[in-house]
Structure 1
Amino acid sequence: MLPPGRTITFRAWRAGHRYVPLAEVLVYLGPFVVDSAWQLEIEEWLGGGDLGAIPPEARLSTLDLLALIPPSVQVVDGVFTAWAGSARVVVVEAFDSTSWDITSTDERILTALADRYPDAHDLPT
């Protein structure tokens, strides 16, 4: 688990039936996670690829993650954890393909996403 921090959530579906893909979330996290290593726990996805073949202990660079999961992939249920060495930077969770839940102790990360997605709000702890 992360040390005490905050979790925000925002809708994964936008007006006009537009899905917010993981790639888009990563773009807005970019400056904070560009040098991070990511662990993936993907339970369900739509849109192709063999994402389930990635072992949970594997760590991928941000660029490798972006290449692996193109914008056409819809993550239904999955957890993506960014690491800087042995410290967790952020946890991005797709919940039932309806929302993205973002947990971090770095308020800059949460602010950047809340600025981009005005429906973002705190999840109760």
Structure 2
Amino acid sequence: MTETSAPMQSLTFAAWREVGDRTAGHVARRYVTLAELLVRLGSFGLDLTWKVRTDHPRLDAACAVLESTSTGTGIGTPELLALAAPDLQTVDGDFKGYSAGELVVILREFDSTSWDVCTADERLLREIRENYPDAEPTPPGEWDL
């Protein structure tokens, strides 16, 4: 699998979201999970092959399964989605999606506080901006592709 030749852009947004009515005092927090982001990829992500790296595979059995399953040729999006339980929080993780062997998207979870989405696909970047209005360009130097 190779790195992409297309110029990628990166957006960063908060992993924790407030939901509810602040004026009525009914505010809760929810976490944006890997499963949610995989679903947001829509048809763009359907046929991708993923390579997973997390910083804590020995501490979390689910993270260890994600990493080990994606070694070698990688894991398809439906399989990754099935393994990424709806409430899975990986703390620190890199999820690299490949199409025809070329890197096309990276989902990076940082310290369970933010997500970075890096891709050259404008439709996906627009989807992220629409669904996560706080998404901003990732500061320069934050990505080590």
TM-score, reference length from structure 2: 0.78
Equivalent residues of 1:78, 1:95 under 8 A apart:
yes
Aligned to 2:46: 34
Gaps of 5+ in 1: none
RMSD over aligned Cα, in angstroms?
1.7
Paired position in structure 1 for 2:55: 43
Alignment partner, residue 73 of structure 1: 88
One-letter amino acid of the counterpart of residue 95, structure 1 = F
Per the TM alignment, residue 94 of structure 1 is displaced from its structure 2 partner at its CA by 0.2
Length, aligned pairs only: 123
Structure 1 residues 47-102: Cα deviation after superposition (integer angstroms, max 9, x where no partner): x6432243363411100001111112112000000101121110000001000001
Equivalent positions of 1:36-115 (< 5 A) are: 36-44=48-56, 49-53=61-65, 54-55=67-68, 57-58=71-72, 59-115=74-130
Distance (Å, rounded) in 2 between the aligned partners of 1:103 and 1:42 = 17
Report the Cα distance in structure 2 between the residues aligned to 1:80 and 1:90, rounded to whole angstroms: 8
Structure 2 residue identity aligned to 1:73: L
> Relative to total residues, which structure has the larger strand share, 1 or 2?
1
Based on CA coordinates, which of the two structures has the bigger radius of gyration?
Answer: 2
Aligned equivalent of 1:22: 34
Q: Report the counterpart of residue 24 of structure 2 in structure 1.
A: none
TM (norm. structure 1) is 0.89
**Amino acid paired to 1:9:** T
SS in 1 for 2:129: helix
Q: Give distance in 1, aligned partners of 2:98 and 2:15.
A: 23
- 3-state SS of paired residue (2:12): strand
Distance 2:29 2:80 in 1: 25
Larger relative CO (CA 8 A, sep 6+): 1 or 2?
A: 1
- Residue 35 of structure 1: how far off its partner (Å): 0.5
Alpha-carbon spacing, 1:70–1:50, altered in 2? closer, same or farther (3 Å): closer
- In structure 2, C-alpha distance between the alignment counterparts of 1:123 and 1:79, rounded to whole Å: 15
Q: Name stretches of at least 5 consecutive residues in structure 2 with no aligned partner.
A: 19-27, 141-145
